[in-house]
């Protein structure tokens, strides 16, 4: 039903009008403000967005122009996107935590004349790079606090703009003009430009069109049976394709309600209050949640702890099979039902998962244990594989066909092929139309016959027919003896341990594998507290001998599991070190979506890598760091290196699960 109606509306403003007609009294958006959840129905949203669009037009926003959107998940920023689209202008969301330099690059590259921003922080940031974006004329802000004394000749509050628009709309001719503007929008018009987080170098502006976006979302909305009765919490960055697709576009296509958290720090609590039915979390968030639960359980009383661990074991045995509808012995079902009352239900409630019908994770390979943990307690967590260039979905797992090591079969209407070098290539309904002002790089990722190169190596699994992604094509390497070296595979095994936050493996064109690790301050800090380990800083804790001992045990376990498989036995970790600082996106070591930038790290920590391979027991390193306010400083440290025992091969182990 929904997708038929959607097909008739080929632009987002037309979809908004359709939603106001079909689901007028249903909530379109919620936002917690001053401690109370405020709601806006679809028809209220349409009214506001119409007024906003007229107000923007009054400021000079014209068809085909770009307008930057900078800030967190707030209704007024989503409405800015809608209002811009209503006028045929192209919204360009920018990561709210982008440092001034990145922000200036995007604003200048996208030629924005207008920027809709959240608050004073963003206004200040843009003002600080003003000379690099001379074409910027106007800024609109949502939160007026602290901005009273600013020069308002180029600054306006969104509330005022909406109010002006509303006044103007009282005039019949203006309303008619707006209707005509909306109906003259075409499906082939660009609807948004999403700048990629830039795993590889400078970010690129991915141009998506109305009609393709809507077509892609109609497919997935039908695939997951999303309706106007569903609810999602928009807590991931506005500028990320995932938020734009999953919440904004799917919301408009299916008519579901998008809830915005009170502020970024309250998202966990808001999740519990809203109880979404559609949920997305990157593996890192799921990891973080699990770590938190585990830490709290360690601190719980004896009986509770025993109860928890007993029923988690039960869940690991039967939970996934029950969820998949496979046969389970009666005692298993009964134990699981008791566990559900005592442990899983309350746990899901605390995490805000009680009403989740469909949950997805993507972005990085998810640890099998992590994945099955959530599924075993009854959360219908699935994997998808996607890209900004595809407008998210390339593959997704259908209900009942869930495997932790695959990303599922191709989505409806998506065509996938594996190139000769193992690279995954696709053609999809939501496919981008090109990189903004960058034909050269567009040509680089497109094949002559119209497929998009993903840059990921993968293959179709014989048993399930699902796609399996191994690693970035450029990252998969070989040891000097020819053994295949997939760094991410090793890193993910390490990262499953709550104490290890980040891992970077080296081994390409080397004799053996070494890793650099980041400890997780929450988990290791709590361990330190329980074991009377005193420390003054992250650096001190990371270099502590007892911490090294603990990490060494984890690495040994990983080696054992690598040894269990013939293919990976050669990639056992020979030496490791714990880094003296956390890898940080502000220092360029991670992308804004928290992915490791391997080559950059290799360069930056070259002295450490040299020490890993020349056999020294420790090495000195000093690195420049960027603080949150943009100032720079230098951290120096002496980092210790540990050697590992080689584990025997699988053949002698006997048991390999």
Beta partners for residue 257, in sequence order: 231
Half-sphere exposure of 518 (CA within 13 A, CB side): 17
Please, are residues 187 and 209 in contact by the beta-carbon 8 Å criterion?
A: yes
Burial class (CB in 10 A: 0-12, 13-18, 19+), 625: middle
Chain CA centroid to CA 561, Å:
28
User: Among 1, 25, 36, 170, which residue sits at the site for other proteins (rule: CB under 8 A)?
Assistant: 36
Radius of gyration over alpha carbons of the chain, in Å? 26
- The number of residues that bind other proteins (CB under 8 A) is 16
CA distance 294 to 278: 25
Using CB under 8 A as the binding rule, whether residue 346 contacts other proteins is answered as no
The nearest distance, CB 35 to other proteins, in angstroms, is 4
Shortest spacing between CB 266 and other proteins, in angstroms: 4
Closer to other proteins at the Cβ: 21 or 530?
530
Q: Which of residues 132-151 bind other proteins (CB under 8 A)?
A: 145-146, 148-149
Q: Smallest distance from the beta carbon of 116 to other proteins, in angstroms?
A: 21
Closest CA relative to residue 216, chosen from 1, 16, 469, 427? 427
Which C-beta is closer to other proteins: that of 459 or that of 627? 627
Q: Does 34 bind other proteins (CB under 8 A)?
A: yes
Work out which of 211, 219, 224, 262 binds other proteins, going by CB under 8 A: 262
Give the nearest distance from C-beta 265 to other proteins in angstroms. 4
Nearest to other proteins of 142, 224 (CB atom): 142
Which CB sits closer to other proteins, 263 or 599? 263
Binding other proteins (rule: CB under 8 A), the pick from 301, 536, 629, 632 is: 629
CB 103 within 8 A of CB 270: no
Please, which residue, 267 or 476, has the CB nearer to other proteins?
A: 267
Nearer to other proteins, 404 or 522 (CB): 522
Residue 456: its H or E element:
strand 452-460
Least distance CB 235 / other proteins (angstroms): 13
Beta strands 231-233 and 257-260: pairing type?
A: parallel
Q: Which of 183, 266, 331, 349 binds other proteins (CB under 8 A)?
A: 266
Q: Give the 3-state DSSP-derived string for 396-426, with helices as H, strands as E and coil as C.
A: ECCCCCCCCCCCECECCCCEEEECCCCEEEE
Interface stretch with other proteins, choices 23-31, 263-271, 274-282, 388-396 (CB under 8 A): 263-271
Structure tokens, 192: 């948004």
Does residue 632 belong to the site contacting other proteins (CB under 8 A)? no
Distance CA 416, CA 408 (A): 12
Outline where 170-282 has alpha helix (H).
Answer: 172-184, 210-223, 241-243, 250-254, 267-274
Show the tokens assigned to 100: 């001034």
Q: Which range touches other proteins (CB under 8 A), out of 29-37, 488-496, 520-528, 637-645?
A: 29-37
Query: In this complex, which beta carbon is closest to other proteins, that of residue 25 or of residue 36?
Result: 36
* Closer residue to other proteins in complex, CB, 145/655: 145
Nearer to other proteins, 324 or 537 (CB): 537
| Binding residue (CB under 8 A) for other proteins from 628, 634, 652, 655 | 628
Interface pick for other proteins out of 151, 265, 420, 614 (rule CB under 8 A): 265
Count CB neighbours of 198 within 10 A. Answer: 17
Contact 585, 230 (CB under 8 A): no
Beta strands in 3-121 (DSSP E): 27-33, 36-41, 66-70, 90-94, 114-117
Residues that bind other proteins (CB under 8 A): 32-36, 145-146, 148-149, 262-263, 265-266, 269, 628-629
């Amino acid at each position: 039903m929904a997708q038929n109606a959607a097909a008739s509306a080929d632009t987002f403003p037309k979809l908004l009008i359709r939603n106001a007609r079909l689901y007028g009294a249903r909530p379109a958006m919620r936002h917690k403000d001053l401690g109370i959840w405020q709601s806006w129905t679809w028809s209220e949203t349409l009214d506001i967005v119409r007024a906003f669009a007229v107000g923007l037009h009054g400021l000079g926003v014209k068809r085909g122009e770009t307008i930057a959107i900078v800030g967190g998940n707030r209704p007024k920023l989503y409405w800015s996107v809608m209002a811009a689209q209503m006028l045929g202008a192209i919204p360009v969301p920018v990561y709210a935590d982008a440092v001034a330099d990145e922000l200036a690059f995007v604003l200048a590259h996208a030629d924005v004349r207008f920027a809709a921003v959240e608050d004073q922080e963003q206004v200040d940031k843009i003002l600080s790079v003003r000379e690099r974006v001379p074409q910027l004329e106007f800024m609109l802000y949502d939160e007026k606090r602290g901005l009273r004394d600013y020069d308002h000749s180029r600054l306006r509050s969104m509330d005022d703009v909406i109010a002006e628009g509303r006044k103007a709309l009282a005039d019949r001719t203006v309303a008619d003009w707006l209707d005509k503007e909306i109906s003259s929008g075409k499906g082939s018009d660009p609807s948004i430009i999403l700048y990629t987080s830039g795993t590889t170098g400078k970010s690129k502006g991915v141009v998506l069109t109305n009609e393709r976006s809507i077509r892609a979302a109609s497919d997935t909305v039908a695939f997951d049976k999303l309706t106007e009765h569903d609810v999602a919490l928009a807590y991931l960055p506005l500028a990320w394709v995932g938020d734009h697709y999953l919440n904004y576009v799917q919301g408009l296509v299916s008519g579901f309600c998008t809830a915005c958290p009170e502020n970024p720090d309250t998202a966990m609590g808001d999740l519990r209050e809203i109880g979404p039915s559609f949920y997305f979390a990157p593996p890192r968030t799921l990891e973080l949640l699990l770590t938190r639960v585990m830490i709290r359980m360690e601190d719980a009383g004896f009986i509770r702890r025993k109860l928890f661990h007993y029923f988690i074991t039960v869940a690991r045995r039967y939970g996934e099979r029950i969820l998949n509808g496979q046969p389970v012995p009666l005692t298993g079902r009964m134990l699981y039902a008791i566990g559900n009352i005592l442990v899983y239900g309350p746990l899901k409630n605390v995490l805000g998962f009680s009403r989740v019908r469909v949950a997805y994770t993507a972005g990085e390979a998810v640890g099998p244990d992590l994945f099955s943990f959530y599924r075993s307690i009854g959360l219908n967590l699935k994997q998808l594989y996607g890209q900004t260039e595809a407008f998210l979905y390339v593959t997704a797992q259908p209900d009942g066909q869930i495997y932790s090591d695959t990303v599922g079969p191709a989505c409806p209407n998506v065509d996938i092929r594996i190139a000769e070098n193992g690279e995954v290539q696709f053609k999809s309904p939501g496919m981008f139309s090109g990189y903004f002002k960058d034909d050269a790089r567009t040509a680089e990722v497109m094949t002559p016959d119209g497929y998009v190169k993903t840059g990921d190596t993968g293959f179709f699994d014989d048993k399930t027919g699902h796609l399996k992604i191994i690693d970035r094509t450029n990252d998969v390497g070989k040891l000097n003896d020819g053994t295949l070296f997939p760094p991410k595979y090793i890193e993910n095994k390490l990262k499953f341990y709550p104490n290890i936050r980040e891992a970077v493996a080296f081994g390409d064109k080397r004799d053996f594998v070494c890793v650099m690790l980041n400890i997780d301050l929450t988990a290791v800090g709590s361990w330190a507290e329980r074991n009377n380990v005193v420390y003054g800083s992250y650096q001190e804790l990371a270099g502590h001998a007892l911490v090294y001992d603990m990490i060494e045990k984890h690495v040994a376990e990983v080696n054992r599991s690598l040894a269990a498989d013939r293919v990976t036995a050669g990639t056992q970790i020979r030496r490791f070190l714990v880094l003296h600082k956390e890898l940080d996106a502000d220092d360029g070591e991670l992308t804004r979506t928290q992915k490791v930038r391997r080559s950059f790290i290799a360069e930056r920590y070259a002295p450490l890598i040299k020490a890993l391979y020349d056999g020294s027991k420790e090495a000195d390193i000093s690195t420049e760091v960027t603080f949150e306010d943009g100032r720079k400083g230098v951290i120096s440290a002496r980092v210790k290196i540990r050697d590992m025992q080689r584990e025997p091969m699988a053949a002698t182990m006997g048991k390999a699960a």
